[in-house]
Chain A
Amino acid sequence: MILLWLWRRWRRRRDAAAEEEAETPAEFRPTPARKGPTAAARGPVALVLHQAYYDLRGFLRNKQARFFTLALPLLFLVVFVSVFGSDKIGPTNVAARTYYVPGISALAVIAASFVNLVITITVLREEGILKRRRATPVPAWTLIAGRTLMAIAVSLISMIVLMLVGRFAYGVKLPTRTIPGIALTAVVGSISFCALAYAFSTAIENEDAAQPMVQAIMLPLYFISGVFIPAVNLPNWLKHVAQVFPVEHLSDGLHHAFAPTTTGAGIIWSDIGVLALWGAIGLGFALWRFSWLPKAATG
């Protein structure tokens, strides 16, 4: 709650500062003359990084996106750990605080990769921004790769924040041996959920529908996939339903990678395989259905 209060206070101050800034016309500062060739001239990798950098800048200036992607997972961690404290829970029978770091990390990855991306893509498409970018020589895959790279970066930043808060506020032991498992699961999960976001955005007609539709799909999945409550408390049939969807596998993979009892690098290949399969299905669907043009017809 203190965090929330601090965040609100910071937001108020920032808004006040922004308003002040908006009133006084900014002094015209010439950009330093361009040094060397442009991103496009330096090749595809430079162009992807260029796109990811500006996508990230835009994202960080969006209050709503910041709240849902960065602040909300943190809030969930604080709430769940406060409620369940040191109860032994979950398949690996760990203290609740240790359980919720990976559980909420799964939510953070999905928030950054899927939820934020579906909303952003829908807005960019409906406002004609994707269309305008398509009118430039930038290759389509560069735009997609740049945005995906940004989503992975935000996912990892969000997870690191959760882990640090877990470590220093609640004394959760962070495993070092299983870092490969944590990182691989998070990155594969992030890429797959990005692909699913591109696929899912094709089903959304307008900007207003994006947020409620995404939440309507994700909230039930969070509940049955071990993100909010341990899956052992669920009836068997519901567990099987959950195992069809990728959320359970991201959550399961991270839970195992974080569990103190896990041996080796903490990579659960079956979870990674299912995530990758969902990603491939999403990519295929997106390639088939994805459109750069607004769905709302123009004259």
Chain B
Amino acid sequence: MEPVVSVHGLRKRYGQFEAVAGIDLEIERGEIFAFLGPNGAGKTTTVEILEGFRTRTEGVVSVLGVDPAKGDPAWRNRVGAVLQESNAEPGLTVRESLQLYSGYYNEPRDIDETIALVGLQEKADTIGTNLSGGQRRRLDVALALIGDPELIFLDEPTTGFDPSARRTAWHVIDGLRELGKTVFLTTHYMEEAEQLADRIAVIAGGKIVAEGTPGTLGGRNRMAATIRFTLPEGTGADDLPPELRALLAGEDGRVTLTTQTPLAHLHVLTDWAIARGIDLPDIDVRRPTLEDVYLELTEAPA
């Protein structure tokens, strides 16, 4: 099946500055795709090119089989967009805003069903501009959904949210999966990408630096695990068996070992400790988090 979004060699230059420096992407139908990167990495520029708001300098772009630069109303019927910054319609209630937008489409979704989908039933008769930040964002999602699009762009949907509002928003976005929508999400929170996305591409400096599922991104599944513990008084790292000493990555009160085979090395360590009659009460074994991977990937090259 033809991909919903396909991008080849996309570039966007502003004078000497290259905001997007050659990007390739393919997004399949029904996928929740996260475009993860720090501020200024080129996320919004890319999304706005895909939404048809900006022109590109170079490259081939196809969204639902159409070049967004030539998107007509028929194409806009099939695409929904939650923009990074857009306020509520002034003076209109949640329901009235949805009534206004549903009039723009030939085959819109049911208004009440859409209000319920984003959890704003209680606020249906509240003026949009009086909603809290999180509720206003959910209204944005409802406005993007009312035309029943196949593909939805969500540009940093939870920036500036408190944790509970973020959870609610995630719940709403997760609900889009059940509707079978294809979702293109941009975010600078790796936790958000990990929570929601089927697939993640990390963008830094206008280039995609890694791509994969939340579990495998950046070779995370193959990266070394870390074993950390504190030795009791009178015992030093030098007393460890030689095969563990070889793994020593640091000792600052706590000993840190890095290993590709955490289970086998843990076994050696516990045998050694029991034989010596000592306990390691604060032992902890850790796989690199997505955050570690992300920070490593997006660190500005020296």
A42-85 CB mask vs B (1 if < 8 Å, else 0) is: 00000100110010011111100000000000000000000000
Complex A-B: 24 CB contacts under 8 Å: A26-B126, A28-B122, A34-B110, A38-B103, A38-B104, A38-B107, A38-B108, A39-B103, A40-B103, A50-B103, A51-B100, A54-B92, A54-B100, A57-B92, A57-B96, A59-B91, A123-B90, A128-B84, A128-B86, A132-B83, A136-B101, A137-B147, A294-B85, A299-B44
Q: Which residues of B contact A50 (CB under 8 A)?
A: 100, 103
Q: Choose among A124, A132, A138, A298 the residue with the greatest number of B CB atoms under 10 Å from its CB.
A: A132
Knowing that A47-B104, A50-B100 touch, tell me 8 more A-B residue pairs with CB under 8 angstroms: A31-B112, A34-B111, A38-B108, A57-B91, A58-B89, A131-B53, A136-B104, A137-B104
A22 to B103, CA, bound (A): 27
B51 touches A135 (CB 8 A): yes
A299 vs B188: C-alpha distance when bound (angstroms): 12
Complex partner residue of B126 from A22, A47, A134, CB under 8 angstroms: A22
A60 with B122: CB separation less than 8 A? no
A10 to chain B, nearest CB (A): 18
A35 at the B interface (CB under 8 A): no
Q: Is the CB–CB distance between B77 and A137 below 8 Å?
A: yes
Residues of B113-155 contacting chain A, CB below 8 A: 121-127, 130, 140, 143-144, 147
User: With the chains together, A131 CA to B91 CA distance in Å?
Assistant: 18
| Beta-carbon nearest neighbor of A128 in chain B | B86
State the Cβ distance, A123 to closest chain B Cβ, in Å.
Answer: 7
Residues of chain B lying within 8 A (CB to CB) of residue A175 = none
Within 8 Å of chain B (Cβ to Cβ): is A129?
yes
A25 contacts chain B at the CB level, 8 A cutoff: yes
Q: B residues within 8 Å of A by Cβ? A: 39-40, 44, 51, 53, 73-74, 76-77, 79-81, 83-92, 95-96, 99-108, 110-112, 121-127, 130, 140, 143-144, 147
Asked if A136 contacts B76 (CB within 8 A), the reply is: yes
In the docked arrangement, what's the CA distance between A294 and B111, Å?
A: 28
Given A31-B111, A54-B99, A299 contacting B39 (CB threshold 8 A): yes
Q: Which residue of A lies closest to B126 (CB)?
A: A26
- The complex places the Cα of A281 from the Cα of B133 at a distance, in Å, of 41
Contact A41 B53 (CB under 8 A): no
